[in-house]
Structure 1
């Protein structure tokens, strides 16, 4: 029996990602009939129905889910063959697809990118934000080459490079009584209303742990969709919130409505890491990238 082709696997993944034959065809720059033929040939070669089709589009069957997952890994491995050649010929050049946390990347990478561009003009860095679990899934599927995250959960075939520790700080409205202290012990949060980001963020998990230990009240009905949203709610006196140091440095210091104080707790920090798939041929490049990110972060955090 003939083996599936890379084009057929790419067609399946495109439909899985978009849910529509027409959109998938546009994404792959092929006609819709040509895409349908690729899927038909793939189903014939595997002897299984991979998609359920209806008027609303197409969705993977249970077998299709398994095949699509394996197809992502296969195509990711194939794409790394080209990286082998680039890595041997260039010093941190070519395209790197990088994922990043929305609570970290925007407040660090603008200081890193100019350094990268000056040292490696041939580098193209494509950055996309996602939550922690989505970043780790994206590394495994090949969507991302590397990801800037915090305290990643152990995953199969994943390399973790610790970069730096970032303190967590408490944001308070100007009239809050806790501002009498220059450094606030987490125990002082007992009975306080504590605002968080919506579920799915690693920062939310940490804040809830601190709340459980300190006796703070998590305001489940007022979860923020962004750190900026949290800061605005704090400024309106709706509660206090915990912010990463780099965000505080970038956004809170110039905010007249909110003041941040260091938070004294064994858990009031997070470890930033760079992650990628094990045995990636560009591992040395990623280590170089991680070293530059860590050095720039150390400079920013040392400034206070």
Structure 2
């Protein structure tokens, strides 16, 4: 293995992505005979055949897929190391690369707290779907990912490669415009909201599926949305511009919208849990740099601070409901 060079690792990645000797040669600016010779060296190092050759091209077998995955992670780690050294030389004390959904109340608050404790930290936030972000984490592009533990993630082969650093509970929430005069400050049963004008995410999302299941469990046909949207910006905007609408969102989204103003959370029974949110590291057995442990502590802190506020808001809602009754 000591005879492996970075060029060999680049070849593994190129072949896994181009599936032809010609494509790999063009990407690495080498001749096809040179590519063929290098592949022989790589397979000799591993002591196994990694790619299957045919008239249609070349494709990685199970061993090759694993080797290419690790090679990509090594190359990305080296690229990040170069970026970190450049940043440190410019005066930054540490660099944190975080993956998170586009709507989260916890991550922005945790970043602010982290920079209060470590003012020299530079944070790079990458937004996207949790499954894609986890891939980027395992490939060495990100340092950690904050996202929901979805069924898709649980059914994948990535779970053993992840280390959950923080786990937070999540729930299905209903939001109304703060100016919606037809919605009283009391507890609602789902059947009472069946005829409301709903803004909902698409059917394939966890939130929509949980929403539909909640109504079905209450013996009520799930409402058909008047607006179906995925974008949190769109959902928040239409809610504020049309006071008659109700929105079904996850807790992280609800907290974010309420903090922006103009929206309030309804007390709807029974409550419905959603898959927990988690902060994930790679399970690599290495000691965590201080910036990662501090960010995990910041996530815990902001979630603990937010919890009493949510409980207090619920108590106020219950008091108002009793007074109305």
Same fold (TM over 0.5): yes
1:130 matched to which residue of 2?
128
Superposition map of 1:1-304 within 5 A: 5-10=5-10, 13=13, 33=29, 42-43=38-39, 45=41, 46=43, 62-63=59-60, 67=64, 69-76=66-73, 79=77, 94-104=94-104, 107-152=105-150, 153-154=153-154, 155-172=159-176, 174-175=179-180, 177=182, 179-190=183-194, 194-198=198-202, 201-214=205-218, 215=220, 217=222, 219=224, 222-234=227-239, 235-236=241-242, 240-252=246-258, 256=262, 259-268=264-273, 271-283=276-288, 285=290, 286-304=292-310
Question: Number of residues paired by the alignment?
Answer: 282
Is the 1:99–1:129 contact (alpha carbons within 8 Å) kept by the matching residues of 2? yes
Quote the Cα distance in structure 1 between the aligned partners of 2:186 and 2:34: 65
- Identify the residue that residue 316 of structure 2 maps to in structure 1: none
Give the direction of change, closer, same or farther, for the CA distance of 1:260–1:279 in structure 2 (3 Å limit).
same
SS state of the match for residue 133, structure 1?
helix
Larger Rg over CA atoms: 2
Partners of 1:191 and 1:15 in 2: CA distance: 56
Mapped to 1, the partners of 2:166 and 2:231 lie a distance apart of 25
Contact 2:99 2:144 in 1 (8 A): yes
Residue 55 of structure 1 aligns with which residue?
none
Q: Is this contact kept in 2: 1:163–1:290, CA < 8 A?
A: no
1:225/1:269 CA distance change after superposition, 3 Å: closer
* Deviation per residue, 1:162-181 (Å, 9 max, x gap): 3433454212355575x124
- Assess if the C-alpha contact under 8 Å between 2:16 and 2:60 holds in 1: no
Give the C-alpha shift of residue 33 in structure 1: 2.3
**Given that residues 98 and 142 in structure 2 are in contact (C-alpha distance below 8 angstroms), is that contact kept between their aligned partners in structure 1?**
yes
Contact 1:94–1:124 under 8 Å retained in 2: yes
Return 5+ residue gaps in structure 2 as ranges: 44-48, 85-92, 311-325
Question: Retained in 1: the 8 A contact 2:100–2:107?
Answer: no
Structure 1 residue 149: Cα displacement: 1.1
CA distance in 2, matches of 1:224, 1:65: 39
In structure 1, stretches of 5+ residues that fail to align are: 53-59, 87-92
Distance in 2 (CA, whole Å) between partners of 1:269 and 1:171 is: 16
Alpha-carbon deviation of 1:294? Answer: 1.4
Q: Which secondary structure does the structure 2 equivalent of 1:272 belong to? A: strand
Partners of 1:36 and 1:185 lie apart in 2 by: 68
CA change 1:15–1:65 in 2 (3 A) is same
Shift of residue 138, structure 1, vs aligned partner:
2.9
- Structure 1 stretch displaced more, 121-130 or 192-201: 192-201
Q: Report the Cα offset of residue 63 of structure 1.
A: 2.0
Deviation string 1:71-122 (CA, Å, 9 cap, x unpaired) is: 2324436839x98xx9xxxxxx633322112232xx3333222321232245
Give the 3 Å change call, closer, same or farther, for CA 50–95 of structure 1 in structure 2. farther
